[in-house]
Amino acid sequence: MNNQKRKIKIVWLDAVGYNFRHTPSDISRMETIGFLEKENKEYVIIKDPLTRNILTNAKHPKEQPTFYIIPKSSIESLEDL
């Protein structure tokens, strides 16, 4: 199957910023839906990604990116849609 036609959903853990005034209580769980552009043993590249924070349902980021690169080490699940 051509990866560019393969629509997928990824649940993954986002990086968290930290400073001494604000201690995050947990790592953000994110959900990205888009088209698989490339995959290797280290990361996946998603074309036309729609991403939201699972807990808050907030869109991430606020401006729509063309691609997302997600490290495989942060992925909890990946499924075809």
- Check pLDDT > 70 for residue 23: no
Helix (H) or strand (E) holding 70: strand 67-71
pLDDT, residue 1, reads 46
Mean of all residue pLDDT scores within the chain:
88
| Better-scored residue on pLDDT, 6 or 5 | 6
The 3-state DSSP class for residue 64 equals coil
pLDDT, residue 49, reads 96
The 3-state DSSP class for residue 54 equals coil
- Check pLDDT > 90 for residue 47: yes
Q: What mean pLDDT is predicted for residues 51-75?
A: 93
